Amino acid sequence: MIGRFCVKRAGKILFAAALVLVLSAALAAAAEFSAEMVIKGPDGQAMNGKVFVKGQKIRQEMQQNGETVVTILRLDRRLSWILLVDEKAYLEMKMRESSEDPSLVEKADPAKVRRLGKETVNGFLCEKVQVTDNGTVVTQWISEELAWPIKGEVKSPKGISSHEYRNIRKGGVSDSLFEIPQGFQKMAVPGMQ
């Protein structure tokens, strides 16, 4: 049985899934890579893990309190799954239209977008882009080669959050990484639909 402890733990990692949505932009069907990932929350706490990207599919694997938590974002289906690996359980949530839309730069009012030039991040030439909306400033370093943000920062009234991909390896990402493993039980959590 899945207890309250698991639900609380799953809630804590929702931040990571939301951050990827905030920081993901310029989706390209051709993007395919894996990397090490560092995410920092507004409280300054860092989480390390791995990320896999293939087109409109993203998988994050992180260690939290000694347990593996996997987040799968299926932008092609407008769904996200949080897998609690040790419990063989998962949460499913529908993605909603919001400021966290992955095509933030493309959909933003051009008056709110600033193109800040080019910078090299972890060996990849990137366009630095900033979007300001409702007191939140999102800065992204979008790799020209990968057509994907490999570094990003969100400044909001809640604080500063960031992500960065390191040791990026192009290609070789299996489709099976973006599916729910057999034997996992779906959890229902009130208010998280």
Structure confidence at residue 183 (pLDDT): 93
Q: In whole angstroms, give the CA distance from residue 157 to residue 29.
A: 33
DSSP, collapsed to helix, strand or coil, labels residue 20 as helix
Report the chain's C-alpha Rg in angstroms: 16
Q: Specify the pairing of strand 89-94 against strand 185-186.
A: parallel
Note the pLDDT tens digit of each residue in 122-170: 999 999 999 888 888 989 898 888 888 889 888 988 899 888 999 999 9
Total-model pTM: 0.77
Token pair listed for 25: 């932009």
The architecture in CATH of the region 4-186 reads Clam (2.50)
Note the pLDDT tens digit of each residue in 11-39: 444 444 444 444 443 344 568 999 999 98
What are the residue ranges spanned by the domains of the chain? 4-186
Q: Calculate mean pLDDT across residues 56-84.
A: 85
pLDDT at 79 exceeding the cut of 80? yes
Instruction: Show the CA angle centred on residue 118, arms to residues 137 and 135, nearest 5°.
Output: 5
